[in-house]
Copies of this chain bind each other. A is one copy, B any other.
Amino acid sequence: MGISTQTMNKSDIKLIAVLERTGGFASAQELHQILRREGDGIGLTTVYRALQSLVDDKIVDLLRREDGEAIYRLCGDTHHHHLVCKSCGDTVEIEGGAIEKWAKTMAEEFGFRDVGHTAEIFGICSKC
């Protein structure tokens, strides 16, 4: 019972590999382009299908970018947050230990379970 690892196929594995390589945080379209660029002729449909089944099997997390586009990352990855420059677009990956605790505490306080969170900081970097 439970997670059906049996149903994993080549496409699923390809997607996991790319997510590992890229640090696990990309949209379906981006993942497709990366695979294409690497010479893999995989179709967009298959990318979507594989990602969906990986999400169903709780192997990858599905989050949303600010514009609503779906982004995926491997579960269990220590996930990081971003510090983004509003001017030049430069991005720094940062730790969010405080956030993890905050999210956990708040979720418990209000009786929520199965929780995730998003957090981003944006500002103007020193170069701009």
Taking beta carbons and an 8 Å cutoff, which residues of A are in contact with B?
A: 64, 66, 68-70, 83, 85-86, 92, 94, 96, 98-99, 101-103, 106-107, 110-126
Number of copies: 2
- Distance of A61 from chain B, by nearest CB (Å): 11
Known: A68-B68, A69-B68. A106 touches B121 (CB 8 A): yes
Complex Cα spacing A125 to B111, Å: 6
Whether B98 pairs with A101 at a CB distance below 8 angstroms is yes
Whether B99 pairs with A83 at a CB distance below 8 angstroms is no
- Distance of A119 from chain B, by nearest CB (Å): 4
- Distance of A92 from chain B, by nearest CB (Å): 5
Whether A112 pairs with B83 at a CB distance below 8 angstroms is yes
Instruction: Find the B residue at minimum CB distance from A112.
Output: B123
Whether B119 pairs with A124 at a CB distance below 8 angstroms is no
Whether A114 pairs with B119 at a CB distance below 8 angstroms is no
Whether A106 pairs with B124 at a CB distance below 8 angstroms is no
Partner of A118, one of B96, B113, B120: B120
Residues of B within 8 A of A85 (CB): 112
- Please name the 5 residue pairs, one residue from A and one from B, whose CB atoms are nearest each other, closest first: A115-B123, A111-B126, A112-B123, A68-B68, A119-B119
